[in-house]
Structure 1
Amino acid sequence: MNQPDTGGHGLRSFEASSGLDNHFMRLNLKVRMPSSLPLPVQCPRQPARTWLRSLLLLSAILPGIANAGPRPDNMVYLRTIDPTIEQDIRYASAHNFTGHSLDGYDAAECLLSLDTAQALARVQRALQKQGYGLKVFDCYRPSRAVADMGRFATEPGNPRKAEFYPRVDKQDFWRLGYVARVSNHSRGSTVDLTLIGPKALTADTWIPKAAQVDCTAPYAQRWRDGALDMGTGYDCFDERAHTANPTINATAKENRQRLSSAMEKEGFAGYSKEWWHFTFGGDGAPKSVMDFPITPLSTNEVLDSSHQLIVVTTKNWDDIQGIAQRYERDGASFRKVGDGFAVVVGKNGMAWGKGLGNVEPGEGPVKREGDGKAPAGIFRLGTAFGYDATAATKLPYLALTSTTECVDDRKSERYNELVDGAAIAKDWNSSEQMREEAGYRKGILIEHNTPASPGAGSCIFFHIWRGPASPTLGCTAMDQGDISRLFEWLNPRESPVLVQMPEGEYEQLRERWKLPRR
């Protein structure tokens, strides 16, 4: 949803949206179309079902208009430009109005045109001086994802209605303009985002069976995304999400104004119907829609974007003991933070795991479920968890309960997920009961095998050890004091990553990946 592009050039135009929609921009797409196809906006009295069928026919035409080739050179990962901007890419998960991850979102990453990303970084720096910052929900959106949204609007089922569109009927999405066939997001110059700051409530960890709360509910009641009160949640199909809606409270009005003002100063234009939606209008903004998929960063892109690094090495593949060292970025390299500390890994050592970037396993072993090996590779660090109700950490935190489980049954749809076993129907026969393991009194999720491939290994954490000579079943464990320091030090805004492997492999890859000397 955007302000419309205009112009005819003598071709019949398909107006992709009625304008009440910030997911999908309103524009005149110049396309030569068969004369037998009706144009929905030009025929407002046409029965909805008839022109819906016409739009579905158009979905077969429109993908050919977009660039479905490789990522253009001017499209960059936001992390590589400013890793301090937080990311919660909703369409890479099921936590969005469709209830499923969208086509083309093969990684939860924000991509933008270079000029747009640089402008957003300037907004971030200005806000940080005021004690605030940005969190992005969506950036570049492949055209195939826009088509996926369109399909959802015509199919039965309302898995997330109670949260995202409680007062809108699904069959009215088209009439109200909440879905369309072309989105300005697909040009790489539009971003959905929010404002973070010291008065924001701590972000919750979303799971598929999380309770759905109306996106217009009071701030303390609706889904906690780690942002300030903006009057509604993100992706809220409701008039209260209109930027200048007069019914929201004074705090939300002030926060919306602060965000809009900061964005406008750097060349972004907001959209009246959705407070979170901004389009960059600089000369370098892309003009064509694109359809290349969003894929993970390369190994070097991952490391270049990280400002916090933990390196764990062992003597060889079979060793159970190792050394961990913290680092912080210092220009183009890393500098040590504090002293190294002892860790233990899997009872059978390590094996190449499934993490970030393009790590070629080489001649080493490859991790499998139940092999008693800790994963080697590069991994992002996710949610912190523990027995306590709260914790002194900037990481998202999950308080474990008696029903919290980590599913290790490779046949389960919840394989490699932390779930509340009392809240969902079980389709697994094997899991870890998190409150029954004393070492999980304090832990951090290592994002190995995410998204999960059945049998590639599950439930990998940093956690407290039983002792310096007691290995794990595949995790990396350490003294309680050392994991407490990690809790305090790690900051998701700094894109922290774990590099873990035997010393020989580390030395072989160190120069290529620009890793620090041990």
Structure 2
Amino acid sequence: MTSSLTFTPPAIPSHDEPDWSQVTCIPVKGCDSPLVPTSLGPSCLKVYPAYARLGIPGAVNECLVRRAVYQRLLQAARALPEGLSLVVMDGWRPWRVQQYLFETLYQSLKTHDPSLCEAQLLARTREFVSLPSRDPDAPSPHLTGGAVDVTICDADGLLLEMGTLFDEATPESHADYFERHPPGVDTPQAAARDNRRLLYHVMTQAGFTNLPSEWWHFDFGDQLWAWYRGEPEALFGPAEMDSIESLWKRSLQ
């Protein structure tokens, strides 16, 4: 599906891949901001919990994010042209889901190319899935509630053309791919380029940073966000979804 844009957004700038050895050294402030559901938002914000719909073990049927992230998602959604909505496909991610995604991509890459050594396999896997970590000083971005996976749909709920599917682990998924490989005029790739540009700019103008290898992945407040913005510290460490047991324990203290 193509968009009905009457203008061409600016090009997506190229950024280096994150140096995870530096990213995970950024101090974590540990802001006590709660996780909130995105499914209660206005019509400009749609929610499609992709991993729960795929039946991935441990996935929750909701897209939870930190409150500050939710507010910025609304800002981005309201900046879209009339008739378009922001679609949230993933936010806070349980460690079990992070581990599943990492292991399945690692094994898929290993099967596809047995010549890859361990270091190459890890690097290729981390291009699209970060290491599963609950370490308070180096959590996986999605475990903090600061990372979100988003796209755009039209008024009929049809997703705009982005050039690849969500979570497609190919070079074409890099946000700037169509900037570096200019498509022909009036082609699906040209529409994908413009749609990626629109998504990138409404999200970054709302305060998010983008993971260069994934057009759909944006961060606010986690270590990845701090690294790309040059912030001295990250706002969010690991988060956990509240349970009825923890609620009872707090109420009885």
- The equivalent residue for 2:215 is 275
- The equivalent residue for 1:33 is none
Cα pair 2:35 2:241 within 8 Å, conserved: no
- The equivalent residue for 1:149 is 101
| Structure 2: stretches of 5+ with no match in the other structure | 1-15, 134-139, 184-188, 226-230, 245-253
Q: How does 1:367-516 map to 2 (within 5 A)?
A: none
Q: Residues 194 and 168 from structure 1, CA distance in 2 versus in 1: closer, same or farther, beyond 3 angstroms? A: farther
Instruction: Tell me if 1:91 matches 2:87.
Output: no
- The equivalent residue for 1:189 is 146
Aligned match of 1:288 in 208, 228, 237? 237
- The equivalent residue for 2:77 is 124
- The equivalent residue for 2:122 is 174
The structure whose residues are more often strand, as a share, is 1
How much has 1:190 moved relative to structure 2?
Answer: 1.2
- The equivalent residue for 1:237 is 169
- The equivalent residue for 1:388 is none
- The equivalent residue for 2:197 is 257
- The equivalent residue for 1:477 is none
How much has 1:169 moved relative to structure 2?
Answer: 4.4
Q: Residues 260 and 235 from structure 1, CA distance in 2 versus in 1: closer, same or farther, beyond 3 angstroms? A: same
How much has 1:286 moved relative to structure 2?
Answer: 3.9
Distance 1:142 1:237 in 2: 21
Instruction: Tell me if 1:80 matches 2:40.
Output: yes
How much has 1:131 moved relative to structure 2?
Answer: 2.9
Cα pair 1:124 1:133 within 8 Å, conserved: yes
Instruction: Tell me if 1:112 matches 2:65.
Output: yes
How much has 1:238 moved relative to structure 2?
Answer: 0.6
Instruction: Tell me if 1:134 matches 2:86.
Output: yes
Distance 1:101 1:133 in 2: 26
Q: Which amino acid aligns with 2:82?
A: Q
How much has 1:132 moved relative to structure 2?
Answer: 1.6
Deviations 1:160-215 (A, max 9, x none): xxxxx8x95497652312442242111111110111125xxx66xxxxxxxxxxxx
Deviations 1:406-435 (A, max 9, x none): xxxxxxxxxxxxxxxxxxxxxxxxxxxxxx
Q: Which amino acid aligns with 2:123?
A: R
Q: Which amino acid aligns with 1:27?
A: V
Q: Which amino acid aligns with 2:93?
A: R
How much has 1:74 moved relative to structure 2?
Answer: 1.7
Q: Which one has a bigger Cα radius of gyration?
A: 1
**Which structure would you say has the larger RCO, counting Cα contacts within 8 Å and 6 or more residues apart?**
2
Distance 2:49 2:203 in 1: 19
How much has 1:144 moved relative to structure 2?
Answer: 2.6
Distance 2:76 2:234 in 1: 17
Distance 2:67 2:234 in 1: 9
SS in 1 for 2:160: coil
Q: Report the identity percentage.
A: 26
Distance 1:112 1:3 in 2: 24
Q: How many residue pairs end up in the alignment? A: 194
- The equivalent residue for 2:56 is 101
Cα pair 1:110 1:140 within 8 Å, conserved: yes
Between 1:130-139 and 1:236-245, the stretch displaced more is 130-139
SS in 1 for 2:177: coil
Cα pair 1:3 1:271 within 8 Å, conserved: yes
After TM superposition, which residue ranges in structure 1, 4 or more long, deviate above 6 angstroms?
Answer: 282-285
Distance 2:123 2:50 in 1: 24
- The equivalent residue for 2:23 is 27
Q: Residues 231 and 294 from structure 1, CA distance in 2 versus in 1: closer, same or farther, beyond 3 angstroms? A: farther
Distance 2:195 2:216 in 1: 11
Q: Which amino acid aligns with 2:24?
A: N
Distance 2:62 2:56 in 1: 13
How much has 1:237 moved relative to structure 2?
Answer: 0.4
How much has 1:123 moved relative to structure 2?
Answer: 1.2
Give the aligned CA root-mean-square deviation in angstroms: 3.5
Cα pair 1:242 1:273 within 8 Å, conserved: yes
Distance 1:275 1:131 in 2: 21
What TM-score do the two structures reach when normalised by structure 2?
0.64
Distance 2:106 2:194 in 1: 37
The structure whose residues are more often helix, as a share, is 2
Cα pair 2:175 2:196 within 8 Å, conserved: yes
How much has 1:3 moved relative to structure 2?
Answer: 6.3
Q: Which amino acid aligns with 2:49?
A: I
Q: Residues 242 and 293 from structure 1, CA distance in 2 versus in 1: closer, same or farther, beyond 3 angstroms? A: farther
SS in 1 for 2:219: strand
